[in-house]
Chains A and B, each alone.
Chain A
Amino acid sequence: MHNTVIEIQDISLSRNDNNILDNISFKIERSKALNLYGLNGSGKTSLLNIIAGITEPTSGYINNISGDENIFHKIVYIGHKYGIKGNLTVKENLSYSLHDNNQNNDALISNALDIYKMTDLKNRLTKNLSHGQQKKVSLMKTLILDSLLWIIDEPYSALDNKSIEIFNTTVKKFLDNGGSLLMTSHSELKNSLFALDNYRIKQ
Chain B
Amino acid sequence: MTRVFNIISKEFLLASRSGYEIFLPIVYLLIIMMFFNISISYVEKDIMLELLPLMTWISCLLICILNLENIFKEDYDDGTLEMFLMKKEGIELDIMIKILSHWLLSNLPIVIVAPLVAIALGLDFGTTSTLFITLLIGTPTMSLIGSIAAALTISLKKNKILVSIIVLPLYVPILIFGTSAVNNSFFKINYDTEITLMIFLFFIFLLLTPLACSKALKISLD
Q: Which residue of B lies closest to A13 (CB)?
A: B222
Binds A, one of B10-18, B49-57, B116-124: B10-18
Point out the residue from A53, A73, A83 that lies within 8 Å of B80, measured CB to CB. Answer: A83
User: What is the CA–CA distance of A92 and B9 in the complex, to the nearest angstrom?
Assistant: 11
Interface of B is mostly: helix
- In the assembled complex, the CB of B71 is this many whole angstroms from the nearest CB of chain A, namely 15
User: What is the CA–CA distance of A88 and B218 in the complex, to the nearest angstrom?
Assistant: 26
Interface centre among B2, B14, B77 (most CB of A within 10 A): B14
Point out the residue from A54, A85, A99 that lies within 8 Å of B78, measured CB to CB. Answer: A85
| B165: interface (CB < 8 Å) | no
Interface centre among B2, B3, B77, B80 (most CB of A within 10 A): B80
- Establish whether residues B86 and A56, one from each chain, have CB atoms under 8 Å apart when the complex forms: no
| A86: interface (CB < 8 Å) | yes
Residues of B within 8 A of A80 (CB): 79
- In the assembled complex, the CB of A16 is this many whole angstroms from the nearest CB of chain B, namely 11
Point out the residue from B13, B74, B78, B222 that lies within 8 Å of A55, measured CB to CB. Answer: B222
Given A53-B86, A54-B221, residue A96 in contact with residue B10 (CB < 8 A): yes
Residues of B within 8 A of A144 (CB): none
Residues of B within 8 A of A81 (CB): 77-79, 82
- Establish whether residues A54 and B3, one from each chain, have CB atoms under 8 Å apart when the complex forms: no
Residues of B within 8 A of A61 (CB): none
User: What is the CA–CA distance of A80 and B83 in the complex, to the nearest angstrom?
Assistant: 12
Given A99-B6, A100-B6, residue A82 in contact with residue B78 (CB < 8 A): yes
- Establish whether residues A72 and B14, one from each chain, have CB atoms under 8 Å apart when the complex forms: no
User: What is the CA–CA distance of A88 and B7 in the complex, to the nearest angstrom?
Assistant: 13
Residues of A within 8 A of B17 (CB): 87-88, 125
Q: Which residue of A lies closest to B222 (CB)?
A: A55
Residues of A within 8 A of B82 (CB): 49, 52, 54, 77, 79, 81, 83
Q: Count residues of chain B with CB under 8 A from any CB of chain A.
A: 23
User: What is the CA–CA distance of A86 and B13 in the complex, to the nearest angstrom?
Assistant: 12
- In the assembled complex, the CB of B13 is this many whole angstroms from the nearest CB of chain A, namely 7
**Binary flags per residue of A168-182, CB closer than 8 Å to B gives 1, else 0:** 000000000000000
Residues of A within 8 A of B77 (CB): 81
- Establish whether residues B13 and A92, one from each chain, have CB atoms under 8 Å apart when the complex forms: yes
- Establish whether residues A56 and B218, one from each chain, have CB atoms under 8 Å apart when the complex forms: yes
- Establish whether residues B86 and A85, one from each chain, have CB atoms under 8 Å apart when the complex forms: no
**Binary flags per residue of B148-185, CB closer than 8 Å to A gives 1, else 0:** 00000000000000000000000000000000000000
**Binary flags per residue of B15-28, CB closer than 8 Å to A gives 1, else 0:** 00110000000000
Given A56-B218, A82-B78, residue A77 in contact with residue B86 (CB < 8 A): yes
Residues of A within 8 A of B66 (CB): none
Residues of B within 8 A of A86 (CB): 78
Residues of A within 8 A of B10 (CB): 85, 88, 96, 99
Residues of A within 8 A of B6 (CB): 96, 99-100
| A102: interface (CB < 8 Å) | yes
- Establish whether residues A73 and B78, one from each chain, have CB atoms under 8 Å apart when the complex forms: no
User: What is the CA–CA distance of A52 and B86 in the complex, to the nearest angstrom?
Assistant: 6
- Establish whether residues A72 and B3, one from each chain, have CB atoms under 8 Å apart when the complex forms: no
A-B contact pairs, 15 of them (CB 8 A): A52-B82, A53-B85, A53-B88, A54-B221, A73-B87, A73-B88, A77-B86, A79-B79, A85-B14, A87-B13, A88-B13, A88-B14, A88-B17, A96-B10, A100-B6
Which are the 5 A-B pairs with shortest beta-carbon distances?
A: A81-B79, A83-B79, A99-B6, A87-B17, A83-B83
